[in-house]
Amino acid sequence: MIDFHTHILPEIDDGARSVRRSLEMYEYQKNSGVDALVATPHFYPDNMTVESFLQKRNNAYERVLEASEEKKISLIPTYLGAEAALAPGFSRIDGIEKLCIGNSNYILVEMPHDGWNSVWVQREIYSVSANRGLIPIIAHIDRYILTKSDFKTLDSFFDPNVCFQINADCYFSFSSRRRAKKFAKMNAIQFVGSDCHNMSDRAPTLAKCVQIMKKMHGEDFVNEIFENSRIVVNS
């Protein structure tokens, strides 16, 4: 299992509040059977440059590594990325390719939460792939696609160069599971992540979700998702 979306690095965004908390989350991930994870701290183009973000992110990761060595805790393999917030002009920002996951050309993109039915949203996503040669992965589709008309909007984003990620907690309630079923049917789940921020209300719950996913969609479906994740982190 690869947790494809996490805020596990310390003191960089609204995720882990300290190195200690970060290590607790790492331990929990390992004990629940997660073999690797992608660290995706928030990148907000209005508040930071790519370079300042990378410096902070790499520094946060260094601190976790150092602390784990000190405490003789072995960390599960971590691939660095970002959850990059889409904004007008995003596709023209210098260095956005450095926000891709590991050495891949896949970039996790957070869509505007006030709706993405605007022309600029579609244009930016298209331009990230067509002009920058990157493959956008739309983060946690379950958090924006709620109504019938949202599903219609989602339809217009289907493109061979666009992927979709779902959050684990979409599998934890009856009503959101119905949406998960719909996403799976329309081929809108290529990746899954816990989107963990802490050990309380937004915990690393990938293992629990995977059990439900297997029952709902079958083992092959789940295997394919983790194969997709492996391809990205190994590229």
83 binds Fe ion (CB under 5 A): yes
Between 21 and 214, CB nearer to Fe ion:
21
Q: Is 10 left (phi over 0), alpha (psi -120 to 50) or beta?
A: beta
Between 169 and 195, CB nearer to Fe ion:
195
Between 110 and 215, CB nearer to Fe ion:
110
State phi, psi for 48 to the nearest 5 degrees: -155, 160
Contact range with Fe ion by CB under 5 A, out of 8-16, 28-36, 84-92, 193-201: 193-201
> At closest approach, how far in Å is the CB of 8 from Fe ion?
11
**Among 2, 66, 42, which residue's Cα sits nearest to residue 223?**
2
> At closest approach, how far in Å is the CB of 131 from Fe ion?
25
* Residues contacting residue 55 through CB under 8 Å, at least 6 positions apart: none
> At closest approach, how far in Å is the CB of 232 from Fe ion?
17
**Among 65, 125, 139, 67, which residue's Cα sits nearest to residue 96?**
125
Tokens (6 digits) for 145:
């696609």
> At closest approach, how far in Å is the CB of 142 from Fe ion?
12
Q: Is 187 left (phi over 0), alpha (psi -120 to 50) or beta?
A: left
3-class SS of residue 204: coil
Between 124 and 195, CB nearer to Fe ion:
195
Contact range with Fe ion by CB under 5 A, out of 69-77, 130-138, 163-171, 187-195: 187-195
> At closest approach, how far in Å is the CB of 14 from Fe ion?
9
Between 5 and 132, CB nearer to Fe ion:
5
Between 42 and 214, CB nearer to Fe ion:
42
Measured in whole angstroms, how far is the alpha carbon of residue 81 from the centre of its chain?
9
In whole angstroms, give the CA distance from residue 99 to residue 107. 6
In whole angstroms, give the CA distance from residue 198 to residue 17. 8
Question: Nearest residue to Fe ion, using CB?
Answer: 195
195 binds Fe ion (CB under 5 A): yes
Q: Under the rule (CB under 5 A), what is the footprint of Fe ion?
A: 83, 195
